[in-house]
Structure 1
């Protein structure tokens, strides 16, 4: 179980976030969370192969994590739990300074979490950074 102090530290030290499963549909949670994170001052890279090459909330959408240039501090996952291991493996291979794997509400995968933790990466499961930011940082 991750503590409020740890979550606050993650939100404070994070600047660049890859949002996997970004949606152009304003009624989707990923769209609202991305909008909030951008307004809170984070650099958010939306990842969605179906929207690649377009812009979402003013940010260029990439097809996959491998299309991101530069480093990422956090991977925010809006995908079903069974997709998490592949996302985590790819993120760990691509971003040596990755600090956090964040799985959205309802998304959990203990095996992938253990893989990330073994590499020194913080893991948050089944929580939302927007909710936690409003709760802990406001």
Structure 2
């Protein structure tokens, strides 16, 4: 797979089908991007699990923080990596061990070797993207402000068709 571009359908499929995100590199600092992403995804109905070895056992956004992916007490769909690119390989190895479905590397994080490893194990991979931004873009929230849409419209963006019915990213059905 070419990891320089992703189709909207590929990203949409991940965001619609996978509801449990483990955020590796979660920060307790409210000004950090990982904090914003956790709060945003949680507000959109995702189960967000903070992972940070230095914060293990504490709580963050009213959720227990796990020191590692292996310590998480339930299945994880998406491992969202807020670490440096060189750390992504070891996080990807952990994601494979816990049977995650997707490895998502945040903006600025790219590790082609980790991507090959994940895909060889059957996982989907996204690199150098943010699920918060992608959700906002695909749901039309970013477009509400006229950003990245090239047009202003009050119409809600339709994200998927299922059984002849159109639905947005926020639908749980």
TM-score interval (norm. to shorter): over 0.9
In the other structure, the counterpart of 2:20 is: 16
Q: Does 1:26 align with 2:30?
A: yes
In the other structure, the counterpart of 1:137 is: 139
Matches within 5 A, 1:67-82: 67-82=71-86
Matches within 5 A, 1:1-138: 1-95=5-99, 98-138=100-140
The gaps in structure 2 that reach 5 residues or longer are: 141-173
Could you list the structure 1 runs, at least 4 aligned residues long, displaced by more than 6 angstroms after superposition: none
The gaps in structure 1 that reach 5 residues or longer are: none
1: CA distance, partners of 2:11 / 2:98:
23
The structural deviation recorded for 1:121 is 0.8
The two structures have a TM-score, normalised by structure 1, of 0.96
Larger Rg: 2
The structural deviation recorded for 1:90 is 1.2
2:45 alignment partner, SS class? coil
2: CA distance, partners of 1:46 / 1:126:
20
Q: Which has the higher helix share?
A: 1
The two structures have a TM-score, normalised by structure 2, of 0.77
Structure 1 stretch displaced more, 126-135 or 115-124: 115-124
CA RMSD of aligned residues (A): 0.8
Count of matched residue positions in the alignment of Structure 1 and Structure 2 = 136
